[in-house]
Amino acid sequence: MLVAKSKGMWYTAYIMKAVVSVIGIDRTGIIAAVSGKLAEWQINIEDISQTIMQNNFVMIMLVDTSSSALELDKIGAMLQASVEHLGVTVHVQHEDLFNAMQRV
């Protein structure tokens, strides 16, 4: 949660961060397809890590979904559907869930 003052008025903004993971066989257009859809849905990419491991594409992004009208489960389903033709698997998790799973 972020509390800020603008034009003499206080407001509260809820910052909603999620982790997007994309895995599949490397091919042209994966990053463009994923980042294009996120931008279209007003989702900001705050951090990104991408590598190729023996022809396998692996990407993890930290995104801010605060400005998007879409709910997190919809983002995951719609993103998977939009890049399915590229043969990759997409997972979208709330940042807190992702962090909790890393501690196990």
pLDDT per residue as tens digits for the range 4-18 = 455 665 545 556 899
| Average pLDDT taken over every residue of the chain | 85
- Long-range contacts of the stretch 54-58 (C-beta < 8 A, 24+): 55/25, 55/26, 56/23, 56/24, 56/25, 56/26, 57/22, 57/23, 57/24, 57/25, 57/26, 57/27, 57/30, 57/88, 58/21, 58/22, 58/23
Domains, the chain, ordered by start:
16-102 (3.30.70.260)
pLDDT band with cut points at 50, 70 and 90 for residue 97 = low
- What average pLDDT does this structure show over 26-54? 96
pLDDT band with cut points at 50, 70 and 90 for residue 44 = very high
Burial class (CB in 10 A: 0-12, 13-18, 19+), 77: middle
Which tokens belong to 101? 């799973």
Determine what percent of the chain is predicted with pLDDT higher than 70.
Answer: 76
pTM above 0.75, yes or no: yes
Residue 3 confidence (pLDDT) above 60: no
